Each structure stands twice: as C-alpha cells, then as structure tokens.
A and B are shown apart, each in its own frame.
Chain A
C-alpha cells in the first residue's frame, strides 16, 4: 500500500472541495472495495477523504411516492428498511444476496455503485489489463474468462460489474444525484451511470473525479411482483455468474408490465427495454419468455469459458418470469 494522507470531512460540499483541492485524492466510505485494491496497489490514492460522517445516511420518502436514499446509507440498513422491504423488495433481496453480513454493514449505497470489477486479471498487478493500464492488453480475452461478460464487451475488456444492488436499481430506474466541487449538482439516470468498456475500459462510470454522490432516488415502485434471482457457484458469499432482477405485473395470464435487468453479463447492469415492451399484452408462456430472452441476448458472445452464461441466462429468465407472473 502506498502511503497516503488522511482527513475527515463533515459535509458533502466539503467532500467535493477536498477532492478537488488535493491531487490524487479519493473518497473512502465503507472502504470494502477501495482498501482491498489499495493493499494490492491497484488503487494508489495519495490522499484519502473519509466521508463517513458527512450525513447523507437517511432514507426519505419523496413527494412523488418514491424514496431518496442517502449515499452513505449502509447496504445492511438499506436492505432492512421497512419501506424498501415493502415497496422495493427486489432491492432488498438483491442487497441481501451480496457479500456478507460484515461487508454489508460497512458498504454504502454510493460505494456499491462505484465498486470495481472482480476480474482475476484486474486483481493481478503482474498481468496485462487495459482497465489498470490502458494499452497493456486484456488478459481475460484468451484467458480463463468463466466469470466474464457475454454482452457489451470489447476487444479491450470483457469484465463485468459485480454489484447485485446496481442490478436492482437498474430495474427500478434509479437516479443518481451528485454534487461537484464547483457546487453544481446533477442527476444521472442509473442506465447512464456505468459505462461499457469500449476503448476506454479504465473508466468504469460516467462520474467525474470531483463529483460526489449524495443520494440515489427511486421513482414510485411499478406494479407487479418483484424477484431477484442470483446464480452462483456456492450457496452464499460468492459473486453472481448470472443474476436477474425482475418485476412482472400479470393479470389472468396476460403480461401488463414487465421489467428485467441482469448482473454478471456485462460491464454494467444489462437491460433491454424492447424485450420488456414486446412482452406487454402477451400471454405468460415459455414461448413468450424465450422470446424475451432472445431479445435480451442479441449480440451475446462467449469467450471460451463463459459460453454457458448465454443459455443459462435464457433458462433463468424464463424461470423467473414464470414465477413472477404466476403470482
């Protein structure tokens, strides 16, 4: 770990200003991803700004019947909030499917969105990785890529985003609110928050270096049954091979409204709105759900060790939609 100076700030504005003031600064909240990477010298901040005491740790009702979730709300508290459990169970389930009790107690809303890939080669400083060192190559391409992307990847990078929470937030059309060091604020729809790797895989998100996430808002929950299904190699404490966050409103076997987003497939949560709108008015059936799967997987490509993810996604989506529409 490289040496760093450390300060604590007590407001979001102070946080944004501090990061602009000192070059090589990074925010640390839960620290469960950042410190992990700092120990391997994959992240090497010169200055840490501890934002754990800036407030922003409340969950509030918004006027339109949604929720505003402070960026510093701990994952465990977010999953346990009664409003989330009652109105956004897919978010609660997704959070509870991730990590461990200890990690959820520290990880924050903002930090969870910003966490980096768990690609084995990203984690090995001795291996070429365009995300760590642009231009050095992608070791996963042609390597052991069992946990890697099958959608939206590029020749530069086939990493996935490991978050469960982000998948649920994508299906809920969350919005990320930020403040900058200049004091300006903006709202980034979750669909535009994470990037695809393209030619610059070193950038995971569209957030700027001096921007500070203040909160995530959720619109009022859509109608329908909400499910989160996580497929992984052991029963707990493992990242998703594939995960699905689904919301289906069906009446008498007919789909009135459907949404589904996926984890484990791409550099960001994957969602194809056309696949969803094509289902509206359809009878809930295997054929309809297989069609939805086909639409979601347009352009899907395996890289040798992760080819199974394609049919796995098809099968799991069909199962989840069946379950969600049966209610």
Chain B
C-alpha cells in the first residue's frame, strides 16, 4: 500500500524496507499529531502484515489481490487488497479508519454507514473495488466536510471543530455505548441532504411535495435503517432536528 503524496510515500518506502523504522517512528512520533496526519499507523501495519505472511506452500487460485485506489476523506490511497475486501473492512483494517463500525456485516443494522459520492450507504455491502472513483467520507472526515470539504487528512482531534451533526449528538446525548453512533451521524448527514433535495419517504403524506417539512415522523422513518440497541432513538431524533435547523 502506498500513499500518493510525496513525503508520505517516501516514509512508507522507508518503513517498508527497514523493519525497525516502523518501531522507531512509533516511539519518535506521538499519536494525534503529525503521525496521525501522515497515517503512519496504516503503513506500519501494512508492513507488519506483509512480514507475517506465511511461507508455507499455498493452494493456487484461492485468493485474488488487486490494486484498488480509494479516495477517502479528501486523501487518495493506493491499496493492494484481496478482491473480497468490503469497503468497510478496507476502511477499518487497511486504512485504520475504525470509526465506521461492523455491527452485522450484512446491511441489516446501519452501523457501517458512510457517504459515497455524497450518498449514505452501508459500507459492508460494497466491495472496496466498487468504491473506486467515488469520494468516500467517513465519520473521521465529517469535520472537514463541514468546513467546506477541503482536501485534508486532518482527523477530528481535540482541536478540530465538530461537524454540526456531531455537536448536536453530543449536546442531546444521542448515544450511549457509541457503537452505532458514527453510522447514525453519517446516515443523518446523508438523510438531511436527501430531504433537502426534496426526496420523499415512506411516511410522506404528500408524495409530490418537494419542500415537505422534516417532522419527527419523517426523521424516524428515514433513519430506520440505523439500529440502536441502547435505544437512544428519542435523543438521536432531537439531535437531528437541531442540526437540521442549524443548516437551513
């Protein structure tokens, strides 16, 4: 795996060639700073993973690895991955963007919801290969999205302001265990865009209305693809209402 950008690409090459470099980098660069920005952890992991490949003879034809270029949160990544890798697992296990969650791996819970080409989707039911050519935004990329979608690999550290939806969830206690939360937030962002585009829902009284108000019933129906077992539903809806009002 390599990153396109010059400095980062160079660092990857170094980390790959010298095993100890990864360990040195781990010590020299503390987390949540330059190291996070450079996504160094991904490369350390990829280098380590390639070193633990088994050397036993393998049955042929039972694995297909392909190049896969992903645009995630404003950055571009060139991966070499198993064709079976879902977008969700590519994010979590290869890019170490673990904000998107695996709740069921079968599109039945919504915890893996991310934005692909601006639309909310279940990342577990897309192959990484299928996401090539589309911009992917995960929970980690929402603050940048809120700031106008500037190309940035800045993660949401303490100092980065939250996306209004994230802030609303915080204020309204729209979560408990937090596992479904990134999916709820990304889904809500996508949902608001759909509503603003005049898309109807299963409870819309007037199917043809392009500017129907986003009532509580509308929010609930549109968000029903995101399960929450802690059942933070009422607070989630309140949070979404607040965020919807903040962005007319």
Contacts and interface: CB of A to CB of B under 8 A. Distances in A.
Contacts of B190: 101-102, 105
Interface in B163-212: 187, 190-191, 194, 197-202, 204, 207-208, 210
A237 B122 contact: no
Interface string A52-66: 100000000000000
A102 B207 contact: no
Contacts of A35: 86, 125-127
A39 B104 CA distance: 11
Interface string B74-92: 0000000011101000000
Interface string B105-116: 111001001000
A5 interface: yes
Interface stretch (B31-39, B93-101, B143-151, B220-228): B220-228
A76 B199 contact: yes
Interface stretch (B47-55, B56-64, B239-247): B56-64
Contact of B194 (A6, A32, A76): A76
B10 interface: no
Contacts of A80: 197-200
Interface residues of A, number: 36
Contacts of B29: none
B127 A6 contact: yes
Contacts of A237: 224-225
Contact of B110 (A31, A48, A102, A106): A102
A86 B119 contact: no
Contacts of B126: 31, 35, 106
Interface stretch (A90-98, A125-133, A262-270, A317-325): A90-98
A235 interface: yes
Contacts of B84: 1, 3-4
B64 A4 contact: yes
A89 interface: yes
Contacts of A5: 64, 83
Q: With a 10 A CB-CB cut-off, give which of A93, A99, A106 has the most chain B CB atoms.
A: A106
A105 B125 CA distance: 12
Q: Which of A28, A39, A52, A237 has the most CB of B within 10 A?
A: A237
B66 interface: yes
Given A102-B121, A106-B125, A96 B202 contact: yes
A31 B127 contact: yes
Given A5-B83, A32-B125, A36-B125, A102 B120 contact: yes
Contacts of A1: 84
A327 interface: no
A50 interface: yes
B122 A79 contact: no
B14 interface: no
Interface residues of B, number: 44
A229 B223 CA distance: 20
Contacts of B230: none
Contacts of B63: 3
Contacts of A86: 208
B207 A89 contact: yes
Contacts of B202: 93, 96-97, 236
Given A6-B127, A32-B122, A101 B200 contact: no
A103 interface: yes
Contacts of B120: 101-102, 105
Given A76-B199, A105-B120, A99 B127 contact: no
B246 to A, nearest CB: 21
A6 B119 CA distance: 24
A102 B63 CA distance: 30
A3 B224 CA distance: 33
B130 A52 contact: yes
B224 A236 contact: yes
Nearest to B64: A3
A1 B107 CA distance: 16
B129 interface: yes
Contact of B224 (A4, A30, A100): A100
Interface in A217-265: 235-237
Contacts of B200: 79-80, 85, 92, 96
A27 B84 CA distance: 15
Contact of B61 (A3, A48, A106, A236): A3
15 contacts: A3-B64, A3-B83, A6-B66, A32-B125, A36-B106, A48-B127, A52-B130, A76-B119, A101-B120, A101-B222, A103-B122, A105-B119, A105-B121, A235-B224, A236-B224
